[in-house]
């Protein structure tokens, strides 16, 4: 182990004022960071829906505020064109003003297109079948759940026009599957014929 005597005198003189300056500056930076984090947390907690803020009494009689649940995730796959497709899910959305918390979670949705149909897989953990509401048009599908325990909402733009009245659904273990047959597109000639005089 080395002591201060192992270093030259000029180094010892230069080192000690530097050490004091460095620790004071370091401490100042940490205090400023703590203040910034505290301000950010106040701003974030002011944007949280009321249902996500609860108070709980501890055994010693004091109360603590609890926030949540907050869910954010993403799924990535390579699309048919070779480009990555990234889909976000959860109730926290990034924005220019910081994270925004919504009352409804956005479920994870997968869309698989085949020659004759569009197959949609939706993850809805903790939901009863009777609480799921589906609404479809020929090119969109809305999925919603609104119960005191769970709120989900997602509107999906479909990759092709479909026959909503012929939809087939299955719900098991928190996974909803919807199969929609595509409408047969009639090939119409583009434009109008022109007669040659």
Specify the CATH number for the domain of residue 133: 2.60.40.790
Mean pLDDT of all residues belonging to the chain: 78
Quote the CA–CA distance of 166 and 178 in Å, as a whole number: 11
Same domain, 123 and 173: yes
Domain containing 94 equals 72-181
pLDDT tens for 22-56 read 566 777 887 888 888 777 766 666 666 665 666 77
Rounded to the nearest 5 degrees, what angle is found at the Cα of 158, between the Cα atoms of 146 and 113? Answer: 120
Same domain, 87 and 155: yes
pLDDT tens for 156-186 read 999 999 999 999 999 999 999 999 999 886 6
Decide: pTM greater than 0.75.
no
Same domain, 91 and 39: no
* C-alpha gyration radius of the chain: 29
Q: Per the structure, how many domains does the chain have?
A: 2
Same domain, 170 and 87: yes
């Amino acid at each position: 182990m080395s002591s201060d005597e192992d270093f030259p005198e000029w180094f010892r003189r230069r080192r000690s004022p530097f050490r004091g300056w460095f620790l004071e500056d370091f401490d100042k930076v940490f205090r400023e960071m703590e203040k910034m984090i505290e301000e950010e947390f106040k701003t974030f907690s002011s944007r949280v829906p009321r249902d996500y803020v609860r108070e709980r009494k501890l055994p010693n009689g004091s109360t603590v505020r609890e926030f949540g649940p907050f869910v954010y995730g993403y799924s990535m796959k390579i699309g048919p064109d070779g480009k990555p497709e990234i889909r976000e899910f959860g109730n926290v959305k990034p924005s220019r003003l910081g994270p925004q918390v919504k009352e409804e979670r956005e479920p994870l949705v997968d869309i698989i297109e085949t020659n004759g149909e569009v197959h949609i897989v939706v993850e809805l953990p903790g939901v009863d079948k009777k609480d799921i509401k589906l609404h479809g048009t020929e090119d969109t599908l809305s999925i919603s759940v609104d119960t005191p325990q769970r709120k989900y909402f997602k509107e999906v733009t479909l990759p092709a026009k479909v026959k909503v009245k012929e939809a087939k659904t299955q719900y098991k273990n928190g996974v909803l599957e919807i199969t929609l047959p595509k409408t047969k597109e009639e090939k119409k000639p583009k434009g109008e014929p022109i007669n040659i005089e």
